[in-house]
Amino acid sequence: MNRKNLQDFVRFLMRRIAHTEFIGEENIPPKGGIILVANHMSRFDVPILFGMPARDDVVALAADKYKKNFLFKYLIETTENIWIDRESADFGAMRAAIACINKGQALGVAPEGTRSTTGRLAEGKAGTVLIAEKTRAPIIPVGLAGTDTAMKQLLSLRRPHIIVRFGKAFRLPPMDRNHRDAWLQSCTEEIMCRIAAVLPAQYHGFYAGHPRLQELLREQ
């Protein structure tokens, strides 16, 4: 099975097992390199973004621990996603991610670095900022709501309702080389607050009450 056939199958399957709403797709450029930054609560998140209608070329960073699972390994490699070692600074994965964006593809990233164990936003990590700095690509915040309870609902024979909301594209300011650490922290908070702003309040987690998030919510 090639990528296109698998993508068609994923879209068909997700339509059958879940009611998924995509809101704000007009914020996604139809072509060109972009970075989709999303919260991450469930294994449902990756197939939903992979099968979203707005772009056929989404590539995600996938933790290399899934290489041990034959099914996940097959799916990740068939969909041409990028393996990343989340336990170390994986410069090979970073270079591959940058190359994808520079080729005009859409890169999907979870800035939290791993699935949230609480169902709410965890503190973001700086890796996404470095990719954005190298590519200067527009960043699209993505809020996934409902994936945290989707499996439980399916097991109880209920069809989960999942909402995927895309915010407006933005770019980060150029690196301040004299204050690099402060710049990294500020840009990471900007990304995470932009994600929080397209999520219901119960998912805000670590960023609940953050001044930048409150500012973004007032602008909506």
Rg of the chain over all Cα atoms, to the nearest angstrom: 17
The average pLDDT across 186-213 equals 98
Q: What are phi and psi of 123, to 5 degrees?
A: -65, 135
pLDDT of amino acid 110: 94
Which structural domain range is residue 74 located in?
3-219
pLDDT of amino acid 80: 81
- CA–CA separation, 151 and 219 (whole Å): 34
- Reported as a pLDDT band with limits 50, 70 and 90, residue 79 is confident
Please report where in the chains the tokens 């500020």 appear, as a residue.
186
Please report where in the chains the tokens 């791993």 appear, as a residue.
114
The reported pTM is 0.93
> CATH number of the domain that 9 lies in?
3.40.1130
Strands, E, within 41-126: which ranges?
58-63, 82-84, 106-109
User: Is 90 exceeded by the pLDDT of residue 81?
Assistant: no
Cα angle 34-42-131, degrees, rounded to a multiple of 5: 25
User: Is 80 exceeded by the pLDDT of residue 72?
Assistant: no
Measured in residues, the chain has a length of 220
Please report where in the chains the tokens 């609560």 appear, as a residue.
41
pLDDT of amino acid 83: 85
- Reported as a pLDDT band with limits 50, 70 and 90, residue 199 is very high
- CA–CA separation, 179 and 187 (whole Å): 12
3-state helix, strand, coil split of the chain in percent (to 5) is 45, 15, 35
- CA–CA separation, 204 and 218 (whole Å): 15
Counted domains in the chain: 1
Element (H, E) at 214: helix 211-219
Element (H, E) at 186: helix 180-197
